[in-house]
Amino acid sequence: MLNYIIRRLLILPFILVGVTMLVFAMLSMLTPYERASLYVSDIPKRQGAIEDIIEKYGLNDPIHIQYWHWMVGHEDKNTGEVKGGLLRGDLGFSTVGHMPVIEVIKHRLPATAELALLAAIPLIGLAVWMGIQSAVHHNKLIDQVLRVLAIIGWSIPTFVLGLLLLMFFYAQLDWFPPERLSTWASQVVQSGEFTRYTQMNTIDSLLNLRFDIFVDSLRHLVLPVITLSVISWAFLLRVTRSSMLDTLRQDYMTTARSKGLGERTVIKGHAVPNALIPVITVGGMTLIGLFNGVVITETIFNYPGLGKFMASSAAALDVVSVLGMTLFSSFVLVFGNLIVDVLYGVVDPRIRLD
């Protein structure tokens, strides 16, 4: 197992370098004047200031030199100090967020993580359980009902579902409001009396023993969680059902039954562990997608996370922020894929021998 993990870790740097090259290739499509926005936090008012920035940071240098400076930083010709560089966490300055892109990510990541993690609970638990029940009761009423629900969930676009939920549960019933917190709760959270531990409202409110804020934060999360998880839930249900049906038809299942084992023991002890092997891969990549696919959901519910920031940056043509978020999302995908590969190897020993 250790050798398997080491092999995956050795491949990781090459993948990350490839990702940075692709993002830099997109950045290189911009003119030097447009790329100069990476290094300024305000519109220069002095005539010739942009030309000075282009000269200072070598934006007219050969492409391989520009890539090196973008990765490791650029030496200031006046002071000799190395500034910027992706390896130093410099993704440029966001005109939409009014701060460096990396600071915007740090500020908004907990909100998106909280939403994605809460969406994962119904996504994994319900989808896997329903998929197993659907396969075990193949072609019976429960199977037919779950298949119809899965098709409906898979067919409804995210923005349509979000708007329908918002119009009914907020506009009509006023049960589950948008945004992240109510005004009164937001004022308490931002006061000095409330200690921020994780920047996640649900966890921090419990740690501060403010159960009123905990309930308020859950009310704001209900609709975004449902919207974010329905399509992924439907897909994972269908994958689980298909994998379970294939497993139930295997010869070793017939052998287990012929030995006198009860149907419950056969399903739980033999069918489920083997059927979940592909589900782990699909489920893991689905969870990674929750972090990168919240743009529509956060925009609909005015939820202040990374998805909302990405949408605002694109609408404002803030190229620096969009490319910075693209790079961050790529890194999340690469590291998440590594974790899924390792988990896959833990569940299925045959993978470790490849």
Residue at 85 is within a domain: no
Long-range Cβ pairs for the range 155-161 (8 Å, 24+): 156/230, 156/231, 158/227, 158/228, 158/231, 158/296, 158/297, 159/296, 159/300, 161/226, 161/227, 161/230
Rounded to two decimals, the pTM is 0.81
CA 158 from centre of chain: 16
CA distance linking residue 105 with residue 330, whole number of Å: 14
Judge contact between 73 and 85, C-beta under 8 A: yes
Strand blocks (E) in the chain: 74-75, 82-83, 93-94, 99-100
pLDDT higher than 60, residue 42: no
**Cα(283)–Cα(270) distance, integer angstroms:** 20
pLDDT at 47: 62
Determine the structural domain holding residue 276 and report its residue range: 99-352
Question: CB-based contacts of 99: which residues, under 8 Å, 6+ apart?
Answer: 93, 107
Cα–Cα distances in angstroms (integers) from residue 288 to residues 210, 334, 353, 354, in the given order: 31, 10, 26, 25
Buried-state track 32-45, b at ≥16 Cβ within 10 A, e below 16: beebbbbbeeeeee
pLDDT at residue 354, as a whole number: 54
149 within domain boundaries: yes
Domain count, the chain: 1
Q: Look up residue 330 and give its DSSP letter.
A: H
Q: Is residue 6 part of a domain?
A: no
The CB-side HSE value for 267 (13 A sphere, CA atoms) comes to 12
**Beta-bridge partners for 93:** 100
Which pLDDT tens digit goes with each residue over 85-140? 788 888 878 888 888 888 999 999 899 889 888 888 777 888 888 888 888 888 88
Q: Model confidence at 37, in pLDDT bands (50, 70, 90)?
A: low
Rg (CA), the chain: 25
Asked whether residue 72 is domain-assigned, the answer is no
Closest among 43, 83, 39 to 59, alpha carbons compared: 39
Q: How confident is the model at residue 71 (pLDDT cuts 50, 70, 90)?
A: confident
Q: Which amino acid is at 304?
A: P
Asked if residue 352 has pLDDT above 70, the reply is no
Q: Which of 246, 229, 193 is nearest to 119 (CA)?
A: 229
Residues in the chain: 354
Q: In this structure, what CATH number is given to the domain that contains residue 216?
A: 1.10.3720.10
Tell me whether residue 62 is in a domain: no
Average pLDDT value over all residues in the chain: 82
* Amino acid of residue 146: L
> Is 296 part of any domain?
yes
Q: Is residue 191 part of a domain?
A: yes
pLDDT above 90 for 319:
no
The candidate with the shortest Cα–Cα distance to 84, out of 305, 313, 324, is 324
Return d(Cα 71, Cα 85) in angstroms, integer.
Answer: 5
Is residue 106 in some structural domain?
A: yes
Taking only the tens place, the pLDDT of each residue in 182-205 is 989 999 998 888 888 888 999 999
pLDDT greater than 80 at residue 256: no
